[in-house]
Amino acid sequence: MIKLPHFLRRKRSSAKTRESHSVRDYRALVRAKLKSLPDDPALALAQAIGAPTMADFMSIGDGHVAVLRHHGLVDGMTVYDLGCGCGRTAQALVRTGWRGQYTGADVVQELIDELARQCPGYDVLLNVTPRIVAPDASLDMVFHWSVFTHLYPGESYLYTSDAFRALRPGGKMIFSFLEMEEPEHDRVWNANLDHLRRGNAAEHLDAFLHRDWIHRFARNAGFAEPRFTNGQDSKDHPPFWQSLAVLEKPA
């Protein structure tokens, strides 16, 4: 075999990089929604991230903020919203008057453009790598809602491990996930089975995680043992239809 010079080898291997499944699927979904609702882009983008109406978009966002407040969000913190979409949480943070340093990251340009439009003063970034784009030990919270629900376990692990790097000691990663043992999540499972039975491709991957896997992600990344709820207990915040996990970086 002919050995290629070094610079040619690098070029050939970078040409092989392919867009990941979730980037491709979410970009297609956002563009299809914008095309189907040309007169109401805000609603189109809200629907692309799973909110049927703007009223749902706002009440779900308020619920996100209530979860964050319950887990210690206060003014002055530095937070990172992974898979921020068009700013369901960011817009709710603005509505509640929270003051702090917010960065939202997503893989779809149209979504982060909308967030930037709605929330001047918040930072947004487009990132398609499984990394948290922040310096070491710089964040108080990394949160993400319905994001690991669309990724392969390896992608979720890489984000978890990089969140550990980017969090300050005592910082938290808070996120939602789908699990098999939770009857509320059956509708996602059943919808997926319907797609498979009909031989249809779903719009995007819907991924379930097991609490044992999250324990392992946390342990391997360096976090303390995770805490979980099924999200539906309305004692501390409005019911959240996915399960919730809280991972803390030891102080």
Ligand X SMILES: C[S@@+](CC[C@H](N)C(=O)[O-])C[C@H]1O[C@@H](n2cnc3c(N)ncnc32)[C@H](O)[C@@H]1O
Query: What does the binding site for ligand X look like in residue numbers (CB under 6 A)?
Result: 20, 22-23, 26, 49-50, 82-85, 88-89, 106-108, 111, 144-147, 150-151
From the list 29, 174, 37, the residue with the least C-alpha distance to 111 is 29
Q: Output the smallest distance, CB 185 to ligand X, in A.
A: 14
Exposure of 93 in the CB half-sphere (CA atoms within 13 A): 30
Q: Output the smallest distance, CB 228 to ligand X, in A.
A: 19
Identify which of residues 74 and 125 has a Cβ nearer to ligand X in the complex.
125
> Which string of b and e fits 85-103 if b means at least 16 CB within 10 Å?
bbbbbbbbbbeeebeeebb
Identify which of residues 83 and 171 has a Cβ nearer to ligand X in the complex.
83
Identify which of residues 20 and 224 has a Cβ nearer to ligand X in the complex.
20
Identify which of residues 71 and 224 has a Cβ nearer to ligand X in the complex.
71
Identify which of residues 107 and 166 has a Cβ nearer to ligand X in the complex.
107
Identify which of residues 8 and 32 has a Cβ nearer to ligand X in the complex.
32
Q: Output the smallest distance, CB 251 to ligand X, in A.
A: 27
CA distances from 6 to 9, 10, 11, 226, 243 (A): 5, 6, 9, 45, 48
Identify which of residues 88 and 172 has a Cβ nearer to ligand X in the complex.
88
